[in-house]
Amino acid sequence: MGKPTGFLEYERETAKVLPPKVRISNFKEFRVPLNKEKQERQGARCMACGVPFCQSGMMLGGMASGCPLHNLVPETNDLVYTGNWEQAYLRLSKTHSFPEFTSRVCPALCEEACTCNLDSEPVSTKENERAIIETAFEEGWVQPRPPKVRTGKSVAVIGSGPSGLAAAQMLNHRGHEVTVFERSDRVGGLLRYGIPNMKLDKSVIDRRIKLMEEEGVHFVTGMNVGVDIKAEELLKKFDRVLLTCGASNPRDIKVPGREAKGIYFAVDFLGRVTKELLDSDFAKAPYELAKGKNVLVIGGGDTGNDCVGTAIRLGAKSVTQLEMMPKPPVKRAEDNPWPQWPKVLKTDYGQQEAIAVFGHDPRIYQTTVKEFVADKNGNVCKAKIMKLKGEKDAATGRLQMVPVEGSEEVIPAELVLIAAGFLGSQKYVTDAFGVAVNARTNVETAAEGYQTSVPRVFAAGDMRRGQSLVVWAIREGREAARAVDESLMGYSNL
């Protein structure tokens, strides 16, 4: 612990952000990192606690507390404080495959479990990690590490999201021949087409993919496994197959008028915007999707927020965001103590931009859609919304949101984005391999393992555990890699 009184001497300071009305003019990242001196001072705030909840990754109150990757947080923070950046990178790399992704998109479970967060402000661990990995790339410390010896074993990884990439990286380092199959035209899965560029610049993904290719990982894009190539063919060609296809079934809103044009699933909308930006080298964006339109986003969470920010950048006339649940409290409730994940109000970048542009928070709580209304051309033009109230189910005791009769209201909506989450894996993939799935259509695996019901076929990530965070996907990929390696070699040193 380099600075025993650092948390008392220094205030928390994070990266500056461009003003909302400035950053919405483009799709670029808008955070301006601290300089090295200030970032090192933030490392000094870490207390090197006797019990570092920040790296525990344990489940409390049904949600994770601390980093699921078990990053050695106090150690890396201390190395940042002492300016030993290369050692910080090496230490971080022991547990983390892609800090450049999580340091941009993770909600920072480590910080919420930080001891300083009990009575003060948490250590800025997320930004310390970003500074570590970006410094490592700038200094040339991140170099290809192709395996010195190949095992003669081969693995097919289906899906190139964070889980698939993490598994491919580990298995390749072990010496196996790894081929990653991706159905889209570019590698990255939801990192590529589910997260907007202003949140995760796609050059960051490309930089890592190039490195993995130089290490020997093979990438095949535009290949829809189960459609373009049969499962039997892959099982014949490869020794093991790892399914990391994500939870790709978006939850729909089944109400009258759903068939109207202009209603999109959030992931399709976000993916279309990113693809046009990438295809045109950021010279063009599909402004016609939202320009001058009243936009309705159904669903909160990160994806709903991303839709708000994207719609504003595309010139929306107004943005309304519906959330079914009640508005969270500003501070922790008594039944939500530290170090549990704080169930408190979060106003993210998209909502901040809406407040700056339109003068009010776009979110309407305890509200849902009852009906969509289309114009004479079949295009959605209005939405009938209604209030909800919480009632406890007599049988289960769970809180259910039920309609409030007579609360209907009609609002204009020429673009509707459904960001209501995902239901599970896609049937054509699971059917192709014949793997068992549970009631939520997630792939079933051995207890606390990654082997599916089909020999030589493994599963990891959202496809196995359901919709979750990027950091959980990376952990799943790393652990699945170890399970695959052990099944191939009889042991694993991953």
**Whether the predicted pLDDT of 253 surpasses 90:** yes
Whether 29 is in a domain gets the answer: yes
Q: The CATH number of the domain where 175 resides is what?
A: 3.50.50.60
Whether 125 is in a domain gets the answer: yes
431-466: pLDDT as tens digits? 999 999 999 999 999 888 999 999 999 999 999 999
Do 412 and 269 belong together in one domain?
Answer: yes
Given 377, 392, 418, the domain boundary residue is 418
**Whether the predicted pLDDT of 169 surpasses 90:** yes
Average pLDDT, the chain: 96
Given 393, 418, 443, the domain boundary residue is 418
Q: What is the pLDDT of residue 63?
A: 84
**Whether the predicted pLDDT of 479 surpasses 70:** yes
**Whether the predicted pLDDT of 2 surpasses 80:** no
140-167: pLDDT as tens digits? 999 999 999 999 999 999 999 999 999 9
Q: The CATH number of the domain where 89 resides is what?
A: 1.10.1060.10
Whether 254 is in a domain gets the answer: no
291-308: pLDDT as tens digits? 999 999 999 899 999 999
Do 291 and 242 belong together in one domain?
Answer: no
Whether 144 is in a domain gets the answer: no
Given 108, 139, 170, the domain boundary residue is 139
Average pLDDT over residues 59-75: 92
Q: Number of folded domains in the chain? A: 3
Do 294 and 413 belong together in one domain?
Answer: yes
Do 208 and 273 belong together in one domain?
Answer: no
**Among 145-149, 240-244, 390-394, 411-415, the least confident range:** 390-394
Q: What is the pLDDT of residue 308?
A: 98
**Whether the predicted pLDDT of 62 surpasses 90:** no
Do 211 and 272 belong together in one domain?
Answer: no
Whether 383 is in a domain gets the answer: yes
**Whether the predicted pLDDT of 388 surpasses 70:** yes
Q: What is the pLDDT of residue 321?
A: 98
Do 359 and 287 belong together in one domain?
Answer: yes
Do 467 and 446 belong together in one domain?
Answer: yes
237-247: pLDDT as tens digits? 999 999 999 99
Q: What is the pLDDT of residue 1?
A: 65
Average pLDDT over residues 385-395: 91
Do 279 and 240 belong together in one domain?
Answer: no
Kindly state the tokens that stand for 441: 């259509």
Q: What is the pLDDT of residue 415?
A: 98
261-286: pLDDT as tens digits? 999 999 999 999 999 999 999 999 99
Whether 283 is in a domain gets the answer: yes
Q: What is the pLDDT of residue 405?
A: 93
**Whether the predicted pLDDT of 430 surpasses 70:** yes
Q: What is the pLDDT of residue 4?
A: 86
Do 95 and 17 belong together in one domain?
Answer: yes
29-55: pLDDT as tens digits? 999 999 999 999 999 999 889 899 999
Do 232 and 292 belong together in one domain?
Answer: no
Whether 255 is in a domain gets the answer: no
Residue-number span of the structural domain to which 349 is assigned = 263-418
97-133: pLDDT as tens digits? 999 999 999 999 999 999 999 889 999 999 999 999 9
Do 306 and 320 belong together in one domain?
Answer: yes
Do 270 and 406 belong together in one domain?
Answer: yes
Whether 256 is in a domain gets the answer: no
Q: In the 3-class helix/strand/coil scheme, how is the chain assigned residue by residue?
A: CCCCCHHHHCCCCCCEECCHHHHCCCCCCCEECCCHHHHHHHHCCCCCCCCCHHHCCEEECCEEECCCCCCCHHHHHHHHHCCCHHHHHHHHHCCCCCHHHHHHHCCCHHHHCCHHHHCCCCCCHHHHHHHHHHHHHHHCCCCCCCCCCCCCCEEEEECCCHHHHHHHHHHHHHCCEEEEEECCCCCCCHHHHCCCCCCCCHHHHHHHHHHHHHHCCEEEECCCECCCECHHHHHHHCCEEEECCCCCCECCCCCCCCCCECEEEHHHHHHHHHHHHHHCCCCCCCHHHCCCCEEEEECCHHHHHHHHHHHHHCCCCEEEEEECCCCCCCCCCCCCCCCCCCCCCCCCHHHHHHHHHHCCCCEEECEEEEEEEECCCCEEEEEEEEEEEEEECCCCCCEEEEECCCCCEEEECCEEEECCCECCCCHHHHHHHCCCECCCCCECCCCCCCECCCCCEEECCHHHHCCCCHHHHHHHHHHHHHHHHHHHHCCCCC
